[in-house]
Amino acid sequence: MTISYGDIRIADYTYDLPPERIAKYPLPERDGSKLLVWDGSNISDHIFRELPALAEHDSLMVFNNTRVIRARLIFRKASGAIIEVFCLEPHRPSEFSLNLASGGPVEWKCLVGNLKRWKQGALESRFTSDGREYVLTAERTGTAGDAFTVRFSWNDSSLSFAGVLERLGHMPIPPYLDRDDEESDRRTYQTTYARVNGSVAAPTAGLHFTPALLNALDAAGIKRAEVTLHVSAGTFRPVKSELICDHMMHSEHFFVTKSTLKRLRDNKTTAVGTTTVRTLESLYWLGISFSEGRWPAGEIPSISQWEPYKRECDIDPSVAIDNLLAALDESGRERLEARTEIIIVPGYRFRMVSSMLTNFHQPHSTLLLLVAAFTGHSWKDIYNHALAGGYRFLSYGDSMLLAP
């Protein structure tokens, strides 16, 4: 084993975050947020709209184009009890696009709030759209780890499940915002380039971009590409174990097209957000596992939580990407589909990512560990600078460009 991750204590990766420093709402202008820049030794303060002049011009900037779905469904029982069903990921059909497009019953893996008041039977919620009344029914069908499988059905097959969520669901804003979702969150808790439905949490580094800023990046000659990773609720799961080796990571579904893989092969990358970092680094290990014949026949390939730490591997990233291109050629597909549980902790050697944009993360979180893995001991200086400099923290807060 190349890294003694078993010795990493989560207590060593924390800081004092006063509640008033958590941004409960975004700024009126997305690109007016603060941007801290760390170049490997120095820290400087900027405004996010200055990014085209600050980004590496020989690097490919990679975005996660996932779109947040209104994944929180509220049911009220006849007794008055409120039951919240939080849709995590499709169970049957398991493919996101098929499930969301379905006009018939679907099943999802869900978290259930106030579970003790829903011991049996079906829940119903009524809503009106375009003058027609609809009834959504939810029935528990089983368990899936620490979640439940829930079957949803409704009374009009011309309405897709995505349409049901759009009309009835609530935006899954993070619990640390300590408020109910509002109408404005439907717009602000979504990147301007979001295209592919599936996330139950926003890739928040992308919330700072505006169409004008994206055009400015293009005008500055900065190349852009997109991947899709559907962010799960596990991204907010705090690390409760003393040692990081005892923490179980969530699994997330991602997709990368063949054309994007070819561009990744020939460019350094600037990852927009930790979800993009996890996607890009997972690609490396998927390429290695394919060359070793470890992809399961007929199943979606995946990267387990600790796979990158089990052995030395010095294969060039371009070779790993070539392996993935070969896998797509063999199957006749134009898009790679995979899952990842990868955890990135101090001591990890980055293969695919040369710089990253990210927000400021919670104490005791795996995302803070990822930043510490990229910056080394400098993460403390970066966070102390942000705290002293009035930066706003977490999902609706400010961001940093880490470009050593």
Give the tens place of pLDDT for each residue, 278-318.
999 999 999 999 999 999 998 999 999 999 998 889 999 99
pLDDT confidence band for 3 (50 / 70 / 90): low
User: Cα angle vertex 377, ends 371, 378, to 5°?
Assistant: 75
Residue among 276, 268, 283 at smallest CA distance from 403: 268
Which residues, in sequence order, are CB contacts of 327 under 8 Å at separation 6+?
Answer: 290, 295, 336
Contact status, residue 286 vs residue 303, Cβ threshold 8 Å: yes
As a whole-number percent, the residues of the chain with pLDDT over 90 amount to 90
Nearest Cα to 239, choosing from 9, 22, 397? Answer: 9
Q: Per residue in 258-284, pLDDT tens?
A: 999 999 999 999 999 999 999 999 999
Q: Is 333 helix (H, G, I), strand (E, B) or coil?
A: coil
pLDDT for the residue 30 = 97
pLDDT tens for each residue of 319-348: 999 999 999 999 999 999 999 999 999 999
d(CA 363, CA 17): 7
Instruction: List pLDDT tens digits, range 66-124.
Output: 999 999 999 999 888 999 999 999 999 999 999 999 999 999 999 999 999 998 899 99
Domains observed in the chain: 5-68+187-402 (3.40.1780.10), 72-170 (no CATH)
Rounded mean pLDDT of 165-170? 96
DSSP per-residue codes, 127-183: EEETTEEEEEEEEEEEEETTEEEEEEEES-TTS-HHHHHHHH-B----GGG-S---T
CA-wise closest residue to 368 among 353, 379, 356? 379
Rounded to a whole number of angstroms, the CA Rg of the chain reads: 21
pLDDT for the residue numbered 139: 97
pTM, two decimal places: 0.95
Residue with tokens 């460019």: 267
Q: Which of 173, 116, 199, 109 is nearest to 146 (CA)?
A: 109
Give the angle subtended at the CA of 175 by the CAs of 281 and 141, to the nearest 5°.
Answer: 80
Identify the DSSP state of 106.
Answer: E
